[in-house]
Structure formats: structure tokens, C-alpha cells
Amino acid sequence: MKFLHIADAHLDSPFKGLSYLPKQLWQSVYDSTYLAFETAVDQAIAEQVDFVLVVGDTFDGPHPSLHAQKFVADQFERLNQVDITVFLTFGNHDYYQAENYAFDYSDNVVVFKSGMQRKSLVTKSGLAVDIVGFSYTQNHITQNIVHDFPERLPGHYTIGMIHGSPATSDANQDHYAPFELSDLTKQNYNYYALGHIHKREVLRKSPLIVYSGNLQGRHINEPGQKGCYLVSVDEQTFASELQFIETSQIVFSQLKLSLTEETGLQSLQKQIEQALSTLDVKQMKMIKLVIQNSQLLSLNAKEVLNQTNFLDQISQKTDYDSILYDVEFEVNHKIQLTALDETYFEEAIADLVNQGVVSDKLRPLLKKYLPVEQLLNQPDDLVDQLRQLVQLELNEAVTRGEERED
């Protein structure tokens, strides 16, 4: 028996942080989630799997576009044509509300709606398979829903589908169907197909408890190859083997360039082009350039670097699909401050670092160094980014003061 485990397609992802890209490039990025999903379906058909598990967040929101809905319905119909069953759950992003979905799926699609459900299948070879799962009907599930999983039936290969995350020590933070690994192990199921975390990971090998990750990375915090898992099962022993199937159309990655001396624009461009030439590129890469020791950059180089046409010009010089789409300045040398100044600096950061203030008060600083929209749509590293920017501005202020004295 074989089945495909996919999750977190996030169709309709707006890619807001990349909306400044040239139209044709942005369209390629936007289409990548659709092509990744289609690639997964291609693989299911090529491998002649018995069924496909779709573990939540197929859509990026609870009101998917008609385009996205029709696309998914068409892909499921492709599977229907070759007699492959689909088991579909809805996650915290695309939580199920019947009135939001305009298309009926073909007969091969088994949809988990509200409540815990057990669905059954007998493979062509006669193996009895049970799939246990649930869908979100709102964007949060705070209880450990695994406690409601039914016991495994003797002789049945049993799969649990969970769109959620391991429980933490703080119940107030556990909003996404929190579970304990020990609870899963006690159930004695054969395989747990997990979704929600966008990084593929095998949490446990016996039984197999697996995050397949998302099908396509959508920003720099989702780097590297993305895809799904093909699971092959020995029908006598129930031993299961995993094979990663890559589906990502674009890979997000970082390119770090560490400066060792005062560097002007021309020298910097040569260093960037040299670094790009060393990359192993087999598909399109969206690259965030991180310049370490950026205090060594000339003021002119800093200004020009954040002009997107400069990054575009470098990208176009390459013979491969490496797109420089963002730059980050990393200061590895701090201006020495007095103890009192350091206190004021830390207090100012604490007061300023919130998204509202960033939007209204710090746009001139952000515009100078990086795309505002991109930073605001990736708030996780907002504090670190702002610290770097303020430190960089202080360095420049000192440099300008020294120039005036000369």
C-alpha cells in the first residue's frame, strides 16, 4: 500500500511582503503554491498511490477565491479519474464553513467536517485502513482533541490526521489542537499525518509521527526545499517507509556576505556576483542578501543597495534563476555608549518597537534601508531588524560627524 501525505498548501497566499517585485516575477511567486499542489497530485498519480491525505490549510483563509476552489476541485477530479481517494481536513486558516465553499468535490473525496470522525477504506489488495481526523470550524482549537480519538481496530492499518502543534507548558499559548506525544503513542496507531508546522519533521519513528511541512515556502522564514511524503507500507508487517517528494517551485534562501574592509559600491557588486556564482541552483531561488559588518559599507553603497533596480541588475547578470529580492544590513560593531546612553537606547527601543509606531513614525528610516511592507508583514524579527537599523544610523551619524571635523 502507498499513500501521499500533504499539508499546508496555502493557496491564495497574497505574498504581500513581495508585492513590490516586478509584475512578471511576482506572478511567478504567486503561482508557485498552485504549481506545488499540482506537482503533488502529479506524484500521487505517477506513484499509483491508494489514497492522498490532505491535512489542513489547503487554502490560506476561510473565504477562498473561486479560482482556488475550482483549481482544487479540478485536481481532485484528476485523482478521481485514476481511482485515488482523497481524505481532506480543514485547518486553522481555512476552517470549514459550508457557506464559504462553492464547489462540490468529486465522489473520491472524503471530507472531515465537525467533530472527530473515523473513515474507512479497503485497498485494492484487501487491506483495511482507518483514517481518523477532524476539521476546524473556527480558527482555534484549544483542547487536546486526541483524547477523542477512537481505539484502533485489530488488523486495521490506522492513521490519525492532526492539524495542530505539540502542547507547551503555557496553555494560554496552545491554540491549535495541542497534543502530547505520549497520548499519540498510547493510541497505538500506525501513522500520524500532521499539518500546521511548515517544517517537515519526523517527531517519532515508532509509531511514525510526521510533519510533512508546507508544499511551497512563502518567505525567508520558510527556507529550503518543500514538499510532501510518499509513505509505502508493508501490508503484512505494517512497517512504513517515508520518501520525501519535493514540490516547491521556488526556494527561499539567505546569502551572507561578510565585509572585512571599507567597501564601496563597485567592490561590493563584484563580491555579490562572485558569491552568487558559487550557489548550486537547480531551480528558481529567491535570495535575501545579508551583509555582515555593514558598518564598513560606504554611505553611497548603502543608499544604492536598497534601490530594487540595483538588485535586479545583479540578478539579471546571472545565467541562472537567482533573484536578489531583499537586503539586510548586519552591524557587527557597536558604537561605544556610556552606561547612561545605553540605558536610554534600550528604553527607546522598548518604547518604539511596536507595529503601530513602526508604521507611523519610523517609515523614513525603514524606507532608507529596506522595503517597509516586507518588514511589517514579517513582524517576528522586527525587534532585531530595528536594533540593527538604529545601530547603523548611529554609525552613519558618527561617520558624518568625523567627516565634518576633517
Q: pLDDT higher for 382 or 37?
A: 37
Which residue intervals of 84-210 are DSSP H helices? 181-187
**What is the average per-residue pLDDT within 293-299?**
86
pLDDT band per the 50, 70, 90 thresholds, residue 376: very low
Q: State the sign of the Cα–Cα–Cα–Cα dihedral 219, 284, 47, 209.
A: negative
pLDDT in tens, 65-120: 999 999 999 999 999 999 999 999 999 999 999 898 888 899 999 999 878 999 99
Residue 364 confidence (pLDDT) above 80: no
Residue pLDDT, tens place only, 224-238: 999 999 999 999 999
Per-residue pLDDT at 199: 94
Task: Report CA-CA distances (Å) from 312 to 29, 255, 299, 307, 309.
Answer: 16, 16, 20, 9, 5
- For the chain, the domain total comes to 2
Show which of 246, 262, 289 is a domain's final residue: 246
Q: Are residues 197 and 340 in the same domain?
A: no
Cell of 268: 561590493
Q: Are 238 and 207 within 8 A, CB to CB?
A: no
Strand 208-211, strand 157-163: pairing: unpaired
Which whole number is the average pLDDT over 135-140? Answer: 92
Q: What is the mean pLDDT of the chain?
A: 84
Q: Which of 246, 272, 295 is the last residue of a domain?
A: 246
- How much is the average pLDDT of 327-336? 73
According to DSSP, the residues that pair with 233 across neighbouring strands are 240
The predicted pLDDT at position 403 comes to 45
pLDDT in tens, 119-128: 999 998 999 9
Distance CA 135, CA 113 (A): 5
Q: Decide which of 246, 279, 302 is a domain's last residue.
A: 246
Higher confidence at residue 123 or residue 343?
Answer: 123
**DSSP H or E stretch at residue 28:** helix 23-47
Could you list the residue range(s) of the whole structural domain that residue 99 is in?
2-246
Residues 323 and 364 in one domain: yes
Q: Are residues 232 and 315 in the same domain?
A: no
As a whole number, mean pLDDT of residues 23-31 equals 89
6 and 108 share one domain: yes
pLDDT of residue 383: 55
Q: What is the pTM of this model?
A: 0.80
Q: Once rounded to an integer, what is the mean pLDDT over residues 38-52? A: 98
Amino acid present at 277: S
Q: Is the pLDDT of residue 353 over 60?
A: no
- Across the range 206-217, mean pLDDT stands at 96
Q: Which of 11-25, 130-144, 216-230 is the least confident region?
A: 11-25
Helix or strand or coil: residue 267?
A: helix
d(CA 376, CA 355): 7
Long-range contacts of 270-279 (CB under 8 A, 24+ apart): 272/314, 272/324, 273/314, 273/317, 273/318, 276/314, 276/318, 276/322, 276/324, 277/318, 279/255, 279/320, 279/322
**CATH (domain of 25):** 3.60.21.10
Quick one: 147 and 235 in the same domain?
Answer: yes
Asked if 241 and 261 sit in the same domain, the reply is no
Q: Which of 231, 141, 146 is nearest to 189 (CA)?
A: 146
State percent of the chain over pLDDT 70: 81
Listed residue (216, 149, 147, 191) closest to 7, CA to CA: 216
Residue 344 pLDDT class (50, 70, 90 cuts): low
What sections of 232-305 are H helices per DSSP? 265-277, 299-305
Provide the pLDDT confidence category of residue 375 given band limits of 50, 70 and 90: very low
* Shared-domain flag, residues 236 and 257: no
Same domain, 48 and 192: yes
